Amino acid sequence: MPLEETGRAVSFPAWPWLHLDHEDPVHRQWLRECSGLDSLSCDALLASETRPRLVCEGDHVLVILRGVNLNPGAEPDDMISLRIWVEAGRVISLRHRRLLAVTDVRKLMLAGKGPRTPGELVVMIAGRLVDRQGVVVEALEDTVDEVEEEIVKEAGYALRTRIAEFRRQAIGLRRYIAPQRDVLAQLVNLPVTWLDANLRARLREVAEHQVRLVEEVDAARERAGVAQEELNGRLSEQMNRNMYVLSVVAGVFLPLGLLTGLLGINVGGMPGVESPYAFWSVCAILVVLAIVMIWLFRRARLM
C-alpha cells in the first residue's frame, strides 16, 4: 500500500509505487540521484508550474494530470498537479498538497481491492480524479440553476458578483480539464505493454467521462453568460423605471417649486401679506396646479 504522507516505497509482488512530495528537498534529491530517471524527466516531474501533458518514450510514460482541490478551505478550481512516471515494473507519483483521489486508491488498497498492476493503478487514479471533478461540475450546474431562479424572482446587484465568481471558477476549472481530456485520449492509444485491452477499455470510459465534464463546464459557462445578460437587462430596466418615476415627479413639482420660490422672496409689495386667507389660497392653487400637471402628463401618455 502506498504511504502518501511519508513518501516511502511500498512493494507489490513484482513492482513498487513510490508517492512523493515534489516540494520536499529529500524527495527531490532522491528523484534526481537515485531514481534512475534522466534529467529531462526529472525536470518535468519537479517543475513548479505544470499543465496536463503526456510524454511517451518506449514503454515509459510521463503523464501529468490535475485534480480538484477539495481540501478544507480551498477553492475547487485551484487544481492540484499530479505527476506520474509509469513503466512496466514501477510507478513514481508526485504531488505537494493532499489529493483525495490518491487517498481513495490508498483506502482501496488497504481494503485489498486496489490495483494489481502499474497500468491498473494509473487507470484507477485517473478515474478517481475525473470522478472528483464530476462532483465539482455538478455543484457548478446547481449554482447556475439557483442563479437563474433568483433572477426570475428578484434581480439584485449582489447576483452580479455571484455570477462573476462562478464564471471565474468555471474558467479556472476548464483551463486544466480541457487539456486533460486530450491527455487521456492519447493515453488510451499508447503502444505500451502495461496497458492491456481491458485497461484500455476502462481508460476509454474515463476519457469519455472527462469529455462530458468539459462539455458540461462549457454549457454552464454559456448559461452563466446568458444569465448575466438577462440580469443586466433587468437591472437596466429597473434603473430606467426608477429614473422615469423621478423625472415625472420632478416634472410635476418643478412649476410648484417655481411658484413657492417666487412667493418666498423677501421684497416689499408681496400680495396677500396682510390677508389671513392668503396661505390657504396659495395651497389650493398649488393643489389645482399639481392636478392639472398630472392630467397633462396622463394625456400625453407620460404617466
pLDDT of 186 strictly over 90:
yes
3-class secondary-structure state, position 230: helix
C-alpha to C-alpha distance for 52 and 35, rounded to whole angstroms:
22
Compare 6 and 84 and report the one with higher pLDDT: 84
Kindly report, residue by residue over 243-276, the tens digit of the pLDDT: 877 887 787 777 777 777 766 766 666 676 667 7
* Residues 174 and 218: beta-carbon distance below 8 Å: yes
Contact 2, 17 (CB under 8 A): yes
The answer to whether residues 133 and 213 touch, using CB atoms and an 8 Å cutoff, is yes
**Cβ atoms of 28 and 142 closer than 8 Å:** no
pLDDT of residue 180: 94
Is the pLDDT confidence value at 152 over 80? no
Give the model confidence (pLDDT) of 25-44 as tens digits.
Answer: 999 999 999 989 999 999 99
- From 35-39, 68-72, 210-214, 268-272, the region with the lowest mean pLDDT: 268-272
Q: Convert the pLDDT of each residue in 219-250 to its tens digit.
A: 998 988 888 888 888 888 878 888 877 887 78
- Tell me the DSSP string of 66-118: EE---STT--TTSPEEEEEEEETTEEEEEESS--HHHHHHHHHHHTT-S-SSH
pLDDT-based confidence at 4, cuts 50/70/90? Answer: very low
131: left (phi over 0), alpha (psi -120 to 50) or beta: alpha
C-alpha 47, offset from chain centre: 25
Rounded to the nearest 10 degrees, how much is the dihedral formed by the CA atoms of 212, 213, 217, 223? 50
Q: Give CA–CA dist 188/7, Å, rounded.
A: 28
Report yes or no: 184 and 126 within 8 Å, Cβ to Cβ.
Answer: yes
Cell 478515474 sits on residue: 127
pLDDT tens-place string over residues 45-63: 999 888 899 999 889 999 9
* Alpha carbons 140 and 213: distance in angstroms, whole number: 11
**Strand stretches in the chain, DSSP E:** 10-11, 16-21, 53-57, 60-67, 80-87, 90-95
SS3 123: helix
Residue 159: what pLDDT? Answer: 82
Nearest Cα to Cα of residue 200 among 189, 211, 210: 189
CA distance 303 to 228: 30
The phi, psi pair for 54, rounded to 5°, reads: -145, 135
Cell of 267: 421684497
Residue 95 has pLDDT above 50, yes or no: yes
Cell numbers of 171, please? 474558467
| pTM metric for this prediction | 0.74
CB-based contact 82:176 (threshold 8 Å): no
**pLDDT at residue 14 in the model:** 62
What is the torsional sign of CA 254, 260, 263, 267? negative
Q: In which band, very low, low, confident or very high, does the pLDDT at 64 lie, cut at 50, 70 and 90?
A: very high
Contact indicator for 79, 173 with CB cutoff of 8 Å? yes
- Tell me what pLDDT residue 205 has: 96
